[in-house]
Structure 1
């Protein structure tokens, strides 16, 4: 059995695409996932199961469509992968100083090789974008709500849907998946 983290993209934002966490945990149980925990309302799930990340992504996406009638992208990583992502944060100093202003961007598929450079060309107000393996790290000194790097722009330049979590959430999920 392996510990996993699933990230649901774009739920419970601005009163739309509502997915209650209790219902999400119930769905996970129906799918055979065990030791299921959620963290905050933005779609973070820690669970134990056999199988691959791709299998769990597909099962969760199909289940979310069936139960909630919503097409939601799900990105799944193993506990080991998550630990490596957290340890490899190239913006650690900024993250420790401003945990809510540094975000980990987890794409559905590996980003295009030039994605970070193209995003940096559009960045303003000291924003930084750094590729680290199959993820991107963002620093929004003025806050993510003020950036011109919208989710649509990020998805287009990365070449796949991306979901992001701030440094505080990255660390909390790392603690949960170990626990």
Structure 2
């Protein structure tokens, strides 16, 4: 069976003191699940690896193993290397600073009214992707009051991180 390069993005890991998960543990967990070449990027729950499993099986295996490790559910969003490269290529705010633009990764397509239902909008811009919501924070994220209800089950990564993960996945 052919192997696929995947990127797993964990929700709420090593952010603000919650969900501590050393990246060495995440790599070991992935290897223990039979995923090969596990490589983590920064301490916020990003891991690139190869597997013969389908995306849904990868997600289920990781979520089960992480729940056993953490003692509570840990959300996981999974993309193939090609999908991550497509997210980067489709960035509607490519001319903006990559550290002020995020892709919020979702399991399914965002609802058509996701941008309209956002609140606290100041100078942010929102665009919908395939299974992502793109947000450009004109003044940066720190002072933003933006709330996007459709993004609650997702996890955001800035475009610098997306670019690195896409590059790693294509080199894997």
Counterpart selection for 1:138 from 135, 152, 156:
135
Determine if contact 1:112/1:159 at 8 Å carries over to the other structure: no
The structural deviation recorded for 1:163 is: 0.4
The 3 A distance-change label for structure 1 pair 172 and 81 is same
Aligned-pair CA distance for 1:20: 0.5
Between Structure 1 and Structure 2, the one with more helix by share is 1
- Residue number in structure 2 paired with 1:122: 120
Per the normalisation by structure 2, the TM-score is 0.93
User: How large is the RMSD of aligned CA atoms in angstroms?
Assistant: 1.4
Unaligned regions of 5+ residues in structure 2, if any? none
Matched, 1:24 2:26: yes
Cα pair 1:104 1:166 within 8 Å, conserved: yes
Offset, 1:89: 0.7
Q: Provide runs of 4+ in structure 1 moved above 4 Å.
A: none
Give unmatched runs, 5+ long, in structure 1: none
- Following superposition, the deviation at residue 159 of structure 1 comes to 6.7
Distance, in Å, in 1 between the alignment partners of 2:152 and 2:134 is 16
Normalised by the size of structure 1, how large is the TM-score? 0.89
1:176 corresponds to 2:168: yes
CA distance in 1, matches of 2:143, 2:63: 30
Aligned length: 169
1:43 corresponds to which residue? 45
Q: Verify the 8 A CA contact 2:82 2:166 in the aligned structure 1.
A: no
Shift of the 172–18 alpha-carbon distance from structure 1 to 2, 3 Å rule, reads same
Q: For residues 29 and 133 of structure 1, what CA distance do their matches in structure 2 show?
A: 29
